[in-house]
Structure 1
């Protein structure tokens, strides 16, 4: 069951953000940031439950231009081909704006700092949040993402043709069929997805909001934000970088480059994992996230006071 709430006037842009919380708010907060063309409902319920079982408070939300959060429908049309050629004039916003939205949500929820977990474009937003708002991030998990360097983490040509080629899907039936077809291509070959569940979530996302123009705006924002590599080198936060060897939407070189750029980052590469969160990996990934959360929490605890004689007092 979805226990969604919408908060108004969030962050510097004063937008609406749709979000949901699960677990005990007294536990460490994990802020989940989804990727391009995705909504909060694309975080699998079983994965959320795995995090909650590890005594984590989970917050998932719709980015701007997705789901029930604000859509910038009055913005000029986004021109992705032009952006890829270097003309960024059609960008309505950048990943910095999207990171500021997430910080605004933390403000609304009275959360001083969170363990930020991002998938795909959400990983890029999470990285940007850690760079630009370091005091709000206790640990960083970047999954299936990249640095913004166009030399790494690119979509494979065959996947580009199969997933993004052809006429756009417009009706609910077409959108659901496209989602199922895409998962068969971009999913995890060693960890099959439940395609009936994929179809159900795609239908739910369509019913919440379907905005093809918004997808283009998010894509241009990603390109316009540029290469984060140099700024990633300045981070001082416990970091997990997780990527699948079978990811053809964001080549594993993106994950390797991210981990190489962030001092002390832990890189986990999973054989047979593609560009999704299949049921067979929920527990394993939740374990990795819980471990990086523990590292982040340990850094925020006050150091023990050493009493005379070398004993420690609590």
Structure 2
């Protein structure tokens, strides 16, 4: 069941799975994505393997606090502070942190600036952001900007974006059901779709990838059209001792055919 927690003078909506006595796994999805993008069946699968799973709506997504469109007034370090605050609210000392795409930056800040709260990091479909890494595939369509006053247009835009990133593993009905549910429960969907890109992308105060001391796993699809595989390889190379698992045929999103491999790796941390 979803619950609202008071964290850093705002409201964060979170949902947990499993026994709170088990080791915690904190799932942080990417830009614009609410906790629903971590499928509930996937969360249940992780919990069934002896983990206490937390998924949550970051600022400007889902049922969590929304900020003015285009002017969020926060930084990526604030998103990391929210994650720490949520662990505090749940009475959790340390968690295995799993971060997707843009939230690899949030996880980096957590790991460098709050290492006592992070048992391990799993970075999925993310990047170092270094210059010289390959751009998105030229085959990805340019979708433009939807008319946020037309919900059906917004729905279609997000469904098509999911399709573009899926590298062939696309379930139209599941994608549309996700988007419809997400739009219905989000406080301000225009803010959700724009504000993560308008925030300040700051760096850790105390170092960089090379300063991570906890176990780090990098998972990346070799068919990722948004952040091609060299981005994942760059993360692996930047972190001493990091391990890279290449998921053959996977695109940018963690699609259902890869859930078992993902769960196996997460519970092995």
Report the TM-score when normalising by structure 1.
0.79
Q: Does 1:55 align with 2:50?
A: yes
Give secondary structure in 2 for the equivalent of 1:233.
Answer: helix
Contact kept in structure 1, 2:146 and 2:153, CA below 8 Å: no
- Within-5 A mapping of 1:1-314: 3-8=1-6, 10-11=7-8, 14-73=9-68, 77-78=70-71, 92-152=73-133, 154-159=135-140, 162-165=141-144, 167-168=146-147, 170-189=149-168, 192-209=169-186, 210-221=188-199, 224-225=201-202, 231-292=208-269
Alpha-carbon shift at residue 249 of structure 1 (Å): 1.6
Give secondary structure in 1 for the equivalent of 2:179.
Answer: helix
Alpha-carbon shift at residue 101 of structure 1 (Å): 0.5
Task: Measure the CA separation in 2 of the matches of 1:153 and 1:57.
Answer: 37
Alpha-carbon shift at residue 25 of structure 1 (Å): 0.8
Contact kept in structure 2, 1:19 and 1:62, CA below 8 Å: yes
Alpha-carbon shift at residue 99 of structure 1 (Å): 0.3
Task: Measure the CA separation in 2 of the matches of 1:143 and 1:19.
Answer: 21
Alpha-carbon shift at residue 214 of structure 1 (Å): 4.2
Task: Measure the CA separation in 1 of the matches of 2:51 and 2:177.
Answer: 26
Task: Measure the CA separation in 2 of the matches of 1:156 and 1:266.
Answer: 25
Aligned-residue CA RMSD in angstroms?
2.2
Alpha-carbon shift at residue 102 of structure 1 (Å): 0.5
Change (3 A) 1:168 1:177: same
Q: How many residues align?
A: 268
Which structure has the greater CA radius of gyration?
1
Change (3 A) 1:95 1:225: same
Alpha-carbon shift at residue 271 of structure 1 (Å): 1.4
Flag structure 2 segments of 5+ consecutive residues without an equivalent. Answer: none
Give secondary structure in 2 for the equivalent of 1:21.
Answer: strand
Task: Measure the CA separation in 1 of the matches of 2:152 and 2:124.
Answer: 30
Change (3 A) 1:238 1:18: same
Change (3 A) 1:151 1:65: farther
Contact kept in structure 2, 1:186 and 1:276, CA below 8 Å: yes
Give secondary structure in 2 for the equivalent of 1:197.
Answer: helix
Flag structure 1 segments of 5+ consecutive residues without an equivalent. Answer: 79-90, 293-314
Task: Measure the CA separation in 2 of the matches of 1:63 and 1:166.
Answer: 22
Q: Deviations over 1:41-97 (max 9, x none)?
A: 111122112211211110000111111111122x7x35xxxxxxxxxxxx7222111
Contact kept in structure 2, 1:238 and 1:264, CA below 8 Å: yes
Q: Report the more deviating stretch, 248-257 or 99-108.
A: 248-257
